[in-house]
Amino acid sequence: MTMIEGLNIEYVHVKGNTFEAKMNLNAFHGQIVGMLNGGATVAFGEITAGMASNQLIDENHIAVGQTIIANHLKGKKNEGYIKAYGELLHKGRTTHVWSIRMIDDKACLICQMSVTNGIIMKKKDGQE
């Protein structure tokens, strides 16, 4: 199993300059104390923002995560789900800037993220 598979992302829907994604929580996402592992939340944001950027660019380019920022706002028990609501604040030729709100199944804002993706030509091994 890869980490992306384990994260159990149900969908990523891109609509205009926004996206919505859903991650269903299970044992994979937990910590010893029964709480959601914050690292899973951040990975969810980074990965879905990358998927969303890739749907907004042509086939010769690829989005790579450049700057990832997360403010964890509230702990969450490791059950239920999280939805990510992304808004593309900047759609440049070389960078996309996403603002993402993570809302849990109790409608609670648990995390605010900002993800800057670099938009690079394909075939390059990595960033820039």
Residue 87 CA to its chain's centroid (Å): 11
* Residue 116 interacts with its own copies (CB under 8 A): yes or no: yes
* Residue 58 interacts with its own copies (CB under 8 A): yes or no: no
* Residue 1 interacts with its own copies (CB under 8 A): yes or no: yes
Task: Output the smallest distance, CB 107 to its own copies, in A.
Answer: 14
DSSP state of 93: S
Residue 34's beta-bridge partner residues? none
Interacting residues with its own copies between 89 and 108 (CB under 8 A): 89-90, 92-95, 97, 99
- Could you tell me which stretch among 14-22, 53-61, 68-76 binds its own copies (CB under 8 A)? 68-76
* Residue 125 interacts with its own copies (CB under 8 A): yes or no: yes
- Helix (H/G/I), strand (E/B), else coil: 92: coil
- Is the Cβ–Cβ distance between 9 and 48 less than 8 Å? yes
What lies within 8 Å, CB to CB, of 128 at 6+ separation is 118, 120
Given candidates 43, 84, 100, 102, which one binds its own copies under the rule CB under 8 A?
43
What lies within 8 Å, CB to CB, of 48 at 6+ separation is 9, 12, 19, 21, 84, 86, 100
Q: Which residues bind its own copies (CB under 8 A)?
A: 1-4, 6-7, 27-31, 33, 35, 37-40, 42-44, 46-47, 62, 64-77, 89-90, 92-95, 97, 99, 109, 112, 114, 116, 118, 124-128
